[in-house]
Chain A
Amino acid sequence: MHVVVIGNGVAGVTAARTIRKRSDAKITIVSSESPHFFSRPALMYIYMGHLEFEHTKPYEDHFWRKNRIDLLHARVDAIDTTARSITMNNGSTLTYDALVLATGSRTAFYDWPGQNLRGVHGFTTLQDLAAIEASSVGARKAIVVGGGLIGVEAAEMLHARGIDVTMLVRENAYWRNVLPPEESAMIGAHLARHGIDIRYNTELRSIDGTECVRGVTLTTGETIASNMVMICTGVRPTTDLALRSGIAVQRGIVVNEFFETSAPHVYAVGDCAEQNGIVELLWYSARAHGEHVGAVICGERSPYARDVFYNSAKFFDIEYQTYGSVPAKLDGVTSIVWQHAHKDRFLRIVHRDGIVCGFNALGLRLRAEICMQWIRARTPVDVVLRDLKRANFNEEFFAWEVAV
């Protein structure tokens, strides 16, 4: 059997590794961005000088040969789903018995005037990073469009290199479409303390300049001068190859609960896949998809059941973790909230009729297993409060006296 994987991101690589653990199939990964797998969320650390590109590779280069996973650094231009073959941009072809599409996602540009000017960047790929690096030379001021997770990373990294940052946020508080008001407010204040100029209730109308960026115009008509513009308003699944090859695509490549696409022997996982109408643009989901599809390809045909949701991020110096569901508007749930008097530390436990359903933590580390187990088992919130110490994952000597 020959399994071909397109895309060496976390989804594709996890699928390949899972298959290798379970079978002797020949495995080939074809990817165009970089010869080896690297950690996409670590891009900002390269820019800030915390890491070099080499450090962001989760496996040493000899790992692939040792595990008999062939790597091809090429772009796939066509899939023939009847002949079961793919064609690459170097003209060569490969035939497959199973094909995994793990083509990921890219920055979405919403046709703003001036979005092709020099100095306007998306921030998802290595090539983006190299372009950002080139624009940064001599830059004094940057606009970050969008107040989400990638936006705050963009703001932090530019700021770390001495570039003044203005962030344009559509909502009236930071990431308010996802976070409840207290969390939004705490992070917004933290960014401001770091010297980020955040403008709420603002939207981009156009990017101005002739060849290079000179500034932006907001929908209010206000203009702000800048040398760089970072587009962080979201990403879009990379589906063009699937679309061209006659595979069903909506927002992402449509898959069933076995990650099977509309074409036989073709699967899709990670950022590019759409399951039950949902595209999950998360590292953790992409990894879980990869594990599952690997098992499916090796003959364990069980439907994918999503585990309790979790995510984490870092907003400058504030670590963020979330488990289960904490709706931004807090509809139909009751919160128990603890906040440190003067430090950036915050915990929200959410329950529905006394049954715990979610956690938000800022500046605190919670133990994932315990929180997820509580949510899975529909634990009464008093039990959670009584045993809260078990969920402490902070370092030693950390004062964990949650006075709820």
Chain B
Amino acid sequence: MTTINIMLPKEITDRHQLPMHERIGYGMVALAAFLLLLGAFGGPLTASPVLYCLLTIGLSTIGGLMVILPRFRQLPGIKNNGVMTSGLTRRGLLAWMLGVAFTAFYVILYWYPEYLGSMTASVDPISWTLRGAPADRWFLYGTLYTVAVLIMGIRMLAKYRHSPYHLVRTASVMLSQLALAFVLPAILVRLHSHEFYFHYFWPLKPDYLFPSSLQALFASDDKLIVFMGFWTVMMSFIAVPVLTYFFGKRWYCSWVCGCGALAETMGDPFRQNSDKSLKAWKAERWIVHGVLVFIVLTTALIWLNSWYGGEILGSWSASWAKAYGFYIGSLFSGVIGVGFYPIMGSRVWCRFGCPQAAILGLLQKWFSRFRITTNGGQCISCGNCSTYCEMGIDVRSYAQRGVDIKRASCVGCGVCASVCPRGVLKLENQ
């Protein structure tokens, strides 16, 4: 019997050497990251925050743009050439190194902030300008996050610019991250001494509905802060179901949410690494709904505790909430969610861990007009849609049977429809 060589040799990338401007650009980003780390040890760099800021945030921005902007000159259209043969995008050494670096960053940020040293000085100039206060580690994190979303967002715009849906959607997440997650909270701190994110609600931010925070909001003399109380209750219980009924969960997950913003921009090069197997789908349903049950119970407990004056449950509910914060908030969403981007794809947290996504998903599946429709028998079963679905949905298994796709986890990113070479898929709110 003839044996066949199905695993084709992986040798594409070495022949396609990176063009000079890309090499310089990547070099600048790497140098910026190195200088940022160097700042942890203090020294002359951190003595001049403006210079430190320019050499880190500034340099990486210029480097990133040097790599990305020339791509606007290429002909528009899907070009996933070499995605499966490059170590960076297909779990090679580079991907692992990047994953370890991301993970290490999160571990230090959450549990060993003392090792950040004077790194926060790098964003001091920005912090003073926006908030009128020195930067702390969360502001450092927020700034890096926003810069990543913006620069990789521009990459996203270049890559998918043949598609109006992606242009609008990407612009939306970029704006949302910049305005609602970065600038507005900073200004609120400055003017009202209260940090608030208008685009996060319970249960993604569970404490927003905890009695202590709500009472504090409603008890305030500041009208804006009272409004925040109304806003958070209204969004959690009315806007989420109504908007999801009309548009599916995508209105939030791939248009507004900050985690979605990072996944849809910085995560895009890694989206193909999500697990498509039936097993993964089973695990997903258990874990994500488990998290939802956990957070609902936690919230209920805390309210009960508060109604009974804290006597019945004692300090137990507080430690439960703390456990949630540690295991779900930090470990899952940060370390695993973002740290494992290069290995497990860009939506690990959104798919397996996010309680907001679980609620939106249940609504999407049972009470929504959103679905992905398929175009008659045009599917050639090629597998592009399933491969590039960041949520690990086996889109092809529906498309090749010509049935609509109505899955709780679909974030409506629209990439399956874009990569399909036969125009089989369409996102609709019919």
Contact = CB atoms under 8 A, between A and B. Distances in A.
Interface in B232-282: 277-278
B46 interface: no
- Residue among B76, B378, B414, B418 having the largest count of chain A Cβ atoms under 10 Å: B378
B9 A133 contact: yes
A222 interface: no
Given A51-B84, A90-B1, A39 B164 contact: no
A365 B423 contact: yes
Interface string A238-264: 000000000000000000000000000
Contacts of A172: none
B376 A395 contact: no
Contacts of A288: 377
A34 B80 CA distance: 25
A397 B384 contact: no
B12 A161 contact: yes
B16 interface: yes
Interface range, A side: 35 or more
Contacts of B422: 312-314, 319
Contacts of A51: 84, 382-384, 387
A396 interface: yes
Contacts of B414: 395
Interface string A74-117: 11000000000000011000000000000000000000000000
A317 B77 contact: yes
A89 B84 contact: no
Given A129-B8, A317-B76, A395-B163, A57 B378 contact: no
B85 A49 contact: yes
A48 B81 contact: yes
A129 B5 CA distance: 9
B306 interface: no
B4 A41 contact: no
Interface in A270-302: 283-284, 287-288
B165 A368 contact: no
- Residue among B5, B382, B426 having the largest count of chain A Cβ atoms under 10 Å: B382
Given A127-B4, A321-B423, A368 B375 contact: yes
A53 B285 CA distance: 28
Nearest to A311: B378
B427 interface: yes
A46 B8 contact: yes
B1 A74 contact: yes
A326 B207 CA distance: 63
Contacts of A127: 2, 4
Given A53-B6, A129-B8, A319 B381 contact: no
Interface residues of B, number: 55
Contacts of A160: 79, 81
A312 B77 contact: no
B418 to A, nearest CB: 8
Contacts of A47: 8
Interface in B63-87: 75-86
Nearest to B6: A53
A32 B8 contact: no
A284 B377 contact: yes
Nearest to B278: A60
A393 B423 contact: yes
Contact of A39 (B82, B377, B383): B383
B387 A55 contact: yes
B197 to A, nearest CB: 27
A275 to B, nearest CB: 18
A188 to B, nearest CB: 15
Contacts of A60: 277-278
Interface in A43-61: 45-53, 55-58, 60
A304 interface: no
B378 A56 contact: no
A280 B419 CA distance: 27
Interface string A123-144: 0001101100110010000000
B277 A161 contact: no
A319 to B, nearest CB: 5
A287 to B, nearest CB: 7
Contact of B4 (A34, A393, A397): A34
Contact of B1 (A73, A310, A372): A73
Contact of A50 (B11, B80, B381): B80
A317 B162 contact: yes
A342 B300 CA distance: 59
A164 interface: no
A39 B381 contact: yes
A369 interface: yes
A41 B423 contact: no
A231 B307 CA distance: 79
Contacts of A34: 4, 6
Interface in B385-418: 386-387, 396-397, 400, 414, 417-418
B51 interface: no
B1 A319 contact: no
Nearest to A90: B1
B283 interface: no
Contacts of A62: 278
B381 A89 contact: no
Contacts of A73: 1
A259 B307 CA distance: 75
B83 A58 contact: no
Contacts of B396: 58
Given A74-B1, A393-B375, A39 B382 contact: yes
B168 interface: yes
Contact of A395 (B11, B278, B426): B426
A49 B375 contact: no
A204 interface: no
B1 A75 contact: yes
B384 A50 contact: yes
Interface in B1-40: 1-2, 4-9, 11-12, 15-16
Given A34-B4, A312-B423, A314-B422, A193 B81 contact: no
Contact of A126 (B6, B168, B382): B6
A90 B397 CA distance: 34
Interface of A: 10, 32-34, 39, 41-42, 45-53, 55-58, 60, 62, 73-75, 89-90, 126-127, 129-130, 133-134, 137, 160-162, 193-194, 283-284, 287-288, 310, 312-314, 316-317, 319, 321, 365, 367-369, 372, 393-399
Given A162-B15, A194-B75, 17 more contacts: A10-B381, A33-B4, A39-B381, A42-B384, A45-B382, A58-B381, A60-B277, A89-B1, A90-B1, A130-B5, A133-B9, A137-B11, A365-B423, A365-B426, A367-B376, A394-B426, A396-B427
19 contacts: A10-B381, A39-B380, A39-B381, A42-B380, A45-B383, A50-B83, A58-B383, A60-B278, A62-B278, A130-B5, A133-B8, A161-B81, A193-B75, A284-B378, A314-B421, A365-B375, A368-B378, A395-B164, A395-B426
3 A-B pairs with least C-beta separation: A368-B376, A317-B77, A42-B382
